[in-house]
Amino acid sequence: MTGAGGRPGPRGPAHEIAAAVRRGERTAALVVDEYLEAIAAREEELHAFNVITAERAREAAALLDRRVAAGDDPGPLAGVPVALKDNLCTRGVPTTCSSRILAGWKPPYDATVVERLAAAGAVVVGKTNLDEFAMGSSTEHSATGPTRNPVDTERVPGGSSGGSAAAVAAGFAPIALGSDTGGSIRQPAAFCGVVGVKPTYGRVSRYGLVAFASSLDQIGPFATTVADAALVLEVIAGHDPLDSTSVAEPAPDLLRVLDDGVAGLRVGVVRELLGEGVDAEVVERTRAAAEALDAAGAVVDEVSVPAAAYGLSAYYLIAPAEASSNLARYDGVRYGLRVDAASTAEMNVATRTEGFGDEVKRRIMLGTYALSAGYYDAYYGKAQRVRTLIIRDFDAAYERVDLLLAPTTPTTAFRFGDKTGDPLSMYLSDVCTIPSNLSGHPAMSVPFGFGAGGLPIGVQVLAPALGEAAMFRAAAVLEEAIK
């Protein structure tokens, strides 16, 4: 890739950068400076970051170089710049969730994933922009302003992890972390043309992730290659006693299986996710991906997951209900913004009125209503029963196949303002990704060609719980096929 004015920019996937740093062929300091130069050249145009931690990154790189010179091995991500979604607690660095209500708040501790990245030698270069409290599908709902898609700056990068996806797509960092509650890693990955992974719920610790909807949130990587995504997931996954929902399983061994291919694997194309509302060019790319897997030796057929059609409706009751509970802690007393008033109750109201944006307020009100007396059973309770049906339908499908294939998004990246006036239209952007959050199963988006205007299209590989190894095997085949 080239930087501004045709100058050479940062090169190479993360695993190659780390290998060179570990061997002493490149210095972490030089790598970090190259990426900081790339950020400086285009960040003003894209606004991928809420804060750039340049000096901390240079200090960390210098320490890594001293360790390498002393004969130490800093780890599998030695010297690799990483961007963190700004809802991951980072000690001493503002962690705002792109909300006025947390402006300037600096956590006193690191999220578990941040600790694990540091232990593996990665260097944090900044905290990325997102839809406020991860509520959105375009990164337009941010108190710091929108992020632009590096492929076409007139279009959104997707959301809510739009800053992380844009940072990787623009060459600001070879890897980034995001969170995925209803598609917030996979959808922006598809819009920006990068790899994005939502692991099995509980596979990656949520300790230090600012909560949106606790039964749905999951942290995962963005990368330019399937191999880099596998490497990052190996680093951040594994049991964490600080997270009560963490699965008592070791990190998956993914790099070892990337060359195993898909011969003999049974793959089902999800019929319900190819219907009305999905653009023809997206359907065509998904069917082309199915053909590529078939050509590589997989047994491909169309399958039905009937309850997936109700995923959107169930999600937009369950997620706001959990959000209304989680966001009650922002009261003007313990964190961030405080708007003084005559009484405590008035101060609470004034703080939340000024501190939360419109989309967050919309979801808090919806969730509070769904949980209120007289409506709980009719709305929240019924949505949870639909969630159970979705899990059962996925389980039934996985009795017939090993993996599922679907579009990641119904459309390519849309223009700014196209959907902000119609929340339902915006919510439909996640119709293909939400079912995996409700089931808790892993899924990932892999770039698979382009639509009109050269806009990226992603296809989605889905797997049963803890089925990341087979999922990555298929993703590697698709990545090779599209080359």
| Helix, strand or coil, per DSSP, at residue 62 | helix
216 — pLDDT class (breaks 50, 70, 90): very high
5 — pLDDT class (breaks 50, 70, 90): very low
> What are the tokens at 91?
């000690």
33-80 tens-digit pLDDT: 999 999 999 999 999 999 999 999 999 999 999 999 999 999 999 999
Res. 433: pLDDT tops 60: yes
Q: How far apart are CA 235 and CA 76, in angstroms?
A: 8
Res. 121: pLDDT tops 50: yes
Res. 1: pLDDT tops 50: no
The number of C-alpha atoms within 13 Å of 281 and in the hemisphere containing its C-beta is 14
Q: 195 and 475 in contact (C-beta within 8 Å)?
A: yes
CA-based angle 438:439:444, to the nearest 5?
90
Q: How far apart are CA 436 and CA 472, in angstroms?
A: 16
Res. 391: pLDDT tops 50: yes
Length of the chain in terms of residues written:
483
405-420 tens-digit pLDDT: 999 999 999 999 999 8
Q: Cis link prior to 160 (omega < 30° from 0)? A: yes
Q: How far apart are CA 437 and CA 218, in angstroms?
A: 8
**pLDDT number for residue 288:** 98
**pLDDT number for residue 29:** 98
Res. 292: pLDDT tops 80: yes
In DSSP notation, 211-255 reads: PSSTTT--EEEEESSHHHHHHHHHHHBS--TT-TT--S-PPP--G
Q: 447 and 482 in contact (C-beta within 8 Å)?
A: yes
Which residues are annotated as catalytic?
A: 85, 160, 184
Partners of residue 459 on adjacent β-strands: 407, 446
Which whole-number Å values give the CA distances from 270 to 347, 406, 456, 458, 463, in the listed order? 50, 6, 21, 15, 12
**pLDDT number for residue 12:** 78
If you average pLDDT over every residue of the chain, what do you get?
A: 96
Q: Which of 6-10, 98-102, 192-196, 423-427 shows the lowest per-residue confidence on average (mean pLDDT)?
A: 6-10
Partners of residue 407 on adjacent β-strands: 459
Res. 384: pLDDT tops 90: yes
Mean pLDDT score, 6-22? 75
Q: Percent of the chain beyond pLDDT 70?
A: 98
Res. 7: pLDDT tops 80: no
**pLDDT number for residue 336:** 87
Q: What is the DSSP letter of 210?
A: P
Q: Which domains does the chain have, with CATH numbers?
A: 10-255 (3.90.1300.10)
Q: How far apart are CA 286 and CA 404, in angstroms?
A: 11
- Phi and psi at 2, nearest 5°, equal -120, 150
Give the closest residue to 164 by CA, choosing from 98, 252, 106, 230. Answer: 98
Q: How far apart are CA 463 and CA 384, in angstroms?
A: 22
| Other C-beta atoms lying within 10 Å of the C-beta of residue 271 | 15
Identity of residue 448: F
Res. 9: pLDDT tops 50: no
Mean pLDDT score, 389-398? 98
Report the chain's C-alpha Rg in angstroms. 21
| Helix, strand or coil, per DSSP, at residue 266 | strand
Higher pLDDT, 350 or 1: 350
Q: 127 and 91 in contact (C-beta within 8 Å)?
A: no
Q: Dihedral of CA 320/326/327/328: which sign?
A: positive
323-366 tens-digit pLDDT: 999 999 999 998 889 999 999 999 999 999 999 999 999 999 99
**pLDDT number for residue 11:** 56
**pLDDT number for residue 170:** 98
